[in-house]
Chains A and B, each alone.
With several copies, the nearest count.
Chain A
Amino acid sequence: MSDSHARILCTITDHPIDMQVLTEFVADPAAGAMATFVGMTRNTNEGRQVVRLEYECYPGMAEKEMGKIAEQVLTRWPVQKIAMMHRLGRVDIGEASVAIAVSSGHRHAAFEACHYAINQLKETVPIWKKELYEGGELWIGSQTGTAGAFQRVQEENRA
């Protein structure tokens, strides 16, 4: 358990996410539990009909920040392995944009670590999501609080 790199997989990809890559990575004979999370594009958001999402990242820094989260997880919980993957570009309804898998001896650590990892990812990893909806587009994360100033909705009357 000393070499943390062999226990961490962090990937940013332009291709569809294959969950099996993550679950096979975290498989371990000492693991009795695996928790996974998948974030997908859903068809509505706050009353808007979503057409698709588009993701971009800060290349290099995004992977580094994901790696920091994975290292934190290995420090804080008795976890065997963790795999995190984020997709960039166009992600259609029902497709996965982000996936995390965590294996551990017991289930509570797996759940807590996986939940922590996705929460942190969405706080600190420089990845941005643009929502294309019926009638406009919107950078998500920028429409509330102090970030409200970022809001930029292009009302397009397509009719």
Chain B
Amino acid sequence: MRIRLRYFASLRERLKRSEDTLDVPAGATVATVWEMLTQAHPELAPLERAIAFAVAQEYVDKTHPLQDNDELAFIPPVSGGSYV
């Protein structure tokens, strides 16, 4: 099945694109996609604890099962509590 990926902010700049499509096996979860992404981009692996995931514009955890045509967004740390 095919998943649409979205990258924002620092992640978008790092990957030099704002979205991708990815073919994943049936039964794939968010974690599956993350593993595929970090295999292609090993430099992203240390970000795992800082990143959040959203499917269909709702926060989910890594165990969330994906459906065909899902939109999976990688959410870097948002603009943050400490600044203002």
Contacts and interface: CB of A to CB of B under 8 A. Distances in A.
A–B: direct contact at CB < 8 Å: yes
Contact of B10 (A61, A122, A127, A152): A152
A123 B83 CA distance: 12
Contacts of A119: 81
A142 B79 CA distance: 8
Contacts of B79: 55, 122, 127-129, 140-141
B57 A150 contact: no
Interface stretch (B24-32, B34-42, B70-78): B70-78
A150 B81 contact: no
A139 B10 CA distance: 6
Nearest to A149: B46
Interface of B: 6, 8-11, 13-14, 46-47, 49-50, 54, 57-59, 73, 75-84
Closest 8 CB pairs of A and B: A141-B80, A128-B9, A61-B57, A129-B79, A141-B77, A147-B77, A147-B50, A146-B49
